[in-house]
Chains A and B, each alone.
Chain A
């Protein structure tokens, strides 16, 4: 088996104590009698893209729900050393509501609801912030359009604008590239990269896209049957780990500087052509 490809030099991490946003320690979680997570420990830091990867039913969505505070762990704990961070959350776009007659701007304004408080309505400042968030994602022209009339990629950007409008310290995304076309996927992963490494947000992504993980993540948590192995992408994303976690041969290769993940074993080298007989 050939050696794993060399990765580009790792981006400088943010090693300070303030950079630690969430710490999950020995977390176990259950749905009824079914234990979905066993003894999982994970740290989420500012300035890093942390990814949760694994097959369906492996526990990554459960872990996401535990970290978001939507599911109380059965054992272990989730701490926020610097106080609970402001969270921006982007659910899967294909689960979003299409009955509501709300505009894209109204959807973005929802992100400010918790900070506004009861009985206070969004004013001029909030509307400006919402329009600014849409502009950052280059969809300012969608502000007045009905959310239900938008395409999947446009909805994803509007939901991302909603997550960013309140100035989150931690951005959490569930399957952000599912259903997106090539160009939209490329733009989105570049944006996540900038948010983490330029604006120093913590970015936590649950995804099936190994290319996203390989090329843009700093830390990966590989989930399988409710258990998890965490490490830097450079150390974790190799043939051996991925083959073990997916239960099938997987190869990690570099093509023109981009890491690609291929299924199956290396093809057998073609035999040298037989020497032509001498005349």
Chain B
């Protein structure tokens, strides 16, 4: 599957590429309606409500996706129906709902018994971890939504362009709009799990905004929005891989950059090209952060006896269904005093053959006893394909490996391992 990607920046992340292309190609087609109807705030509010639904499901230990979808649909149903008549959600109502959903999501997370790592993945999504099942579900849901709205294209267009006239001519304009909101609610609930709320909202809004700068016709604008979504996703993924950046943020920035480029192009093609050149030059200037070489951790000089030191050994087996079970054993050496620079939290970053996974290894190393202690555990993840070797890196950080810093390989090392089959 990934042979044709060899030699490209995407070879290591085929799953993220597939998820990005599906979301980047299809979400803008739904987002065109959001932008044209001027209900952009509805998009971000529904994404946030879905996040709150997911968080509540984590607290109550309920199935995540149906619960998120039900919560989002409930908000659309209650908000869109006022005094018995279907109406458009007002901006102020959406603002209040957004605030409440954001606060509830945080409160539910704080009450969740789940691993913080799991909560981060489920709530904020991560293209890198896109599982084949989630990807299929997102693809079918988005494609279904796009096809359904495409079948009602002329009705939706008239209702969006001139609601009052459409209603005066006998079209059930508000009901067509409600159909749009329901499709949006379902699509956002499903997509958010894979893409996260930020990327989901960005893909919904930014490519249509860029396309509307250039579009000379309604059909052409829809197709252009989809093409720009794919282009921005590819550019963002390439930037993330080459400069070792956060994937979702890189794609969001790439999509954002398309808006001024298209606006410049609308004024003059040369201005658009100039802005595109500037964006490419800036992208090329971004260098990857210097990463420690953890592959040969035991070749470093021994750590001083009064500093924190940790060694991690890995073993991994992969089943036929792609499930990868990784067992780890950590030997921790605290220094002679409590001021031995032990990190606030210790994260293990696993990479190799399409795998990119972070795992909270030790939440509070500073609380470990002075001297040597041993710890072990296992984790299970689903790889996009066969994995032959896993490499590990150790990072310190307060909340997530993605905003943490790599540990000095002289002080912390994880041995890579070959993956055996079962």
The interface of chain A, by Cβ under 8 A from chain B, is: 68-70, 87-89, 91, 96-97, 99-103, 106-107, 109-111, 113-114, 116, 118-119, 121-122, 146, 162, 166, 172
Contact yes or no, A99 B212, CB < 8 A: yes
Contact assessment for A103 and B217 in the assembled complex, using a CB-CB cutoff below 8 Å: yes
A106 and B218 form a contact (CB under 8 A)? yes
Do the beta carbons of B217 and A101 come within 8 Å of each other?
yes
Using CB atoms and an 8 Å cutoff, list the residues of chain B in contact with chain A. Answer: 35-36, 38, 151-152, 154-155, 157-158, 160-162, 164-171, 212, 215-218, 220-221
The residue from A87, A110, A119, A146 contacting B161, defined by CB atoms under 8 A apart:
A110
Given A89-B169, A99-B212, A110 contacting B164 (CB threshold 8 A): no
Pick the contact of B164: A70, A87, A88, A107 (CB < 8 A).
A70
> Complex formed: what's the CA distance from A103 to B391 in Å?
57
Q: Name the residue on A nearest B171 (C-beta).
A: A114
Chain B interface, DSSP helix/strand/loop, else mixed: helix
B166 to nearest A CB, angstroms? 7
The reply to whether B36 and A118 contact each other, CB–CB distance below 8 Å, is no
Residues on B with beta carbons closer than 8 Å to the beta carbon of A87: 168-170
Question: Are A111 and B169 also in contact (CB < 8 A) when A101-B212, A101-B221, A116-B154 are?
Answer: yes
What residues on B are CB-neighbors of A114 within 8 Å?
Answer: 169-171
Residues of the A chain whose Cβ atoms lie less than 8 Å from the Cβ of B221: 101
Residues in A whose Cβ lies below 8 Å from that of B217: 101-103, 106
Return 7 A-B CB contacts under 8 Å, by A number.
A100-B157, A100-B218, A102-B218, A106-B218, A110-B165, A146-B216, A172-B168
Q: Considering only CB atoms, which chain B residue lies closest to A116 in the complex?
A: B154
- Complex contact B155–A91 (CB within 8 A): no
Which of B155, B161, B170 is in CB contact (< 8 Å) with A97? B161
- Looking across the interface, which residue of chain B has its beta carbon closest to that of A111? B169
Q: How far is the CB of B160 from chain A (nearest CB, A)?
A: 8
Q: Are A101 and B215 within 8 A (Cβ)?
A: yes
CA distance A177 to B307 in the complex (A): 84
B168 touching A97 by the CB < 8 A rule? Answer: no
- Looking at the assembled complex, report how far the CB atom of B38 sits from the nearest CB atom of chain A, in whole angstroms: 7
- If A101-B215, A101-B218, A121-B154 are given as contacts, then 15 extra A-B residue pairs at C-beta distance below 8 Å, sorted by A number, are A69-B168, A70-B164, A70-B167, A87-B168, A87-B170, A88-B169, A100-B218, A102-B217, A102-B218, A106-B217, A109-B154, A114-B169, A146-B216, A162-B165, A172-B168
